[in-house]
Structure 1
Amino acid sequence: MPLLTAKNATLVVIDFQAKLMPAIHDGEKVLLNAGRLAEAARLLGVPAVLTEQYPRGLGATVPALAEVGPAVTKMSFDACGEPAFLEAVAGDRELVVCGCEAHVCVGQTVLTLLEHRRRVVVVADAIGSRVPQSREIALARMASHGAEIVTTEMVLFEWLRSAEHPQFRPVSKLIR
């Protein structure tokens, strides 16, 4: 099924950490869109998985996303290298991914999830890197291996499917 569904999705929030975000190109915009995804997931009952790369060095998740849930702490750039992450995303749910950095932790995680034959949807306007070119090349690489590339608005409206959805007003307000 090409369209995303809230009932079969898991939001994967990768490494939005306090010491990393100031270095991310357009970091405020990336964080804003990740926050929109997280709030829509909360409103629509979409489970979320949060990761933190070496929090002792990069700090905890930024406050705007800390309520997504308990973080899976990792040292491996690829979140799939952490058994707790694999447990959190086990099953066949489609994985909607946002995070930093696109060309390191996001990219490696997405490529491994694709190797595991998972449906992976990367939210282009909710991932970032320090250098724009690294982000663009990472998006192209992930797409060439089978990741679907979407925007925040695409996810929200596909999760809703209709203006008659009971959560239409609060979710649509997220993008105004």
Structure 2
Amino acid sequence: MPLLTMNNAMLVVIDIQEKLLPAIHDGETMLLNAGRLAEAARLLDVPMVRTEQYPRGLGATVPALAEAGPAIAKMSFDACAEPAFLEAVAGDRELVVCGCEAHVCVGQTVMTLLEHRRRVVVVADAIGSRAPRSLETALSRMARHGAEIVTTEMVLFEWLRSAEHPQFKPISKLIR
């Protein structure tokens, strides 16, 4: 697979919600990295979309990510079961995915997107689960089925491609 490109990417933020985040193992790191991705996407004009699983029960997207694209409420764990989500990700953009939980909503959504022959890039340090083993198992499964597994810094620097990019300085500050 080729390197990621900012011109053909979309950031997908799955279920990083107020009542779910405290239960996520190392959730602060996951949130920090998801925030870095969202800010870089904003600086580079990469479109974003976010989902909220049962927002009445789990709350809204955490405030730090509330501007990461339009929110699509869902009841199904697989965001692809929601027509509004499929409409939001229609086309051929590479889908850069972060969120929680890796073994439930992220995993089911990624598996269905792969069935639809989409290029799916899962940001390992920007997804989470309540248990580390669930995260590890989900990453392994998604990779076996064709998802690319990357880190936040890989995404940022592949989107930039060069230290000469006009947004290099503000984006490089995100990881310091």
Structure-1-length-normalised TM-score: 0.99
Counterpart position of 1:150: 150
In the aligned structure 2, how far is the partner of 1:94 from the partner of 1:69? 16
Q: Counterparts of 1:69 and 1:144 in 2: how far apart (Å)?
A: 29
What is the CA RMSD across the aligned residues, in angstroms?
0.5
Report percent identity of matched pairs: 86
The residue that corresponds to 1:108 in the other structure is 108
Whole-Å Cα distance in 2 between the matches of residues 175 and 155 of structure 1? 12
Residue 34 of structure 1 aligns to a residue in which SS? helix
The Cα shift of 1:70 comes to 2.2
In structure 2, C-alpha distance between the alignment counterparts of 1:88 and 1:113, rounded to whole Å: 13
The corresponding residue for 2:47 is 47
Name the residue aligned to 1:92.
92
Separation (CA, whole Å) in 2 of partners of 1:76 and 1:26 = 25
Secondary structure at the aligned position of 2:130 is classed as coil
SS class of match (1:50): strand
- 1:19-42 CA-partner distances (Å, limit 9, x unpaired): 000000000000000000000000
Aligned length: 176
Q: Secondary structure at the match of 2:52?
A: strand
Letter in 2 for 1:46: V
SS of 2:97's equivalent in the other structure is strand
1:132-161 alpha-carbon deviations (Å, 9 max, x no partner): 000000000000000000000000000000
2:164 alignment partner in structure 1: 164
Contact 2:80 2:112 in 1 (8 A): yes
Which whole-Å CA distance do the structure 2 matches of 1:137 and 1:122 have between them?
Answer: 13
Shift of 1:64: 0.3
Output the CA distance in 1 between the equivalents of 2:104 and 2:28: 19
Q: TM-score, normalized by length of structure 2? A: 0.99
Deviations 1:73-105 (A, max 9, x none): 000000000000000000000000000000000
What residue ranges of structure 2 are gaps of 5+ in the alignment? none
Distance in 2 of aligned mates of 1:30 and 1:152: 10
Code of the aligned partner of 2:67: E
In the TM superposition, structure 1's runs of 4+ consecutive aligned residues that sit over 3 Å from their partners are none
Whether 1:80 and 2:91 are equivalent positions in the alignment is: no
Residue 174 of structure 1 corresponds to 174
Q: Secondary structure at the match of 1:142?
A: helix
Question: 1:43 deviation in Å?
Answer: 0.2
Q: By how many angstroms is 1:71 displaced?
A: 0.4
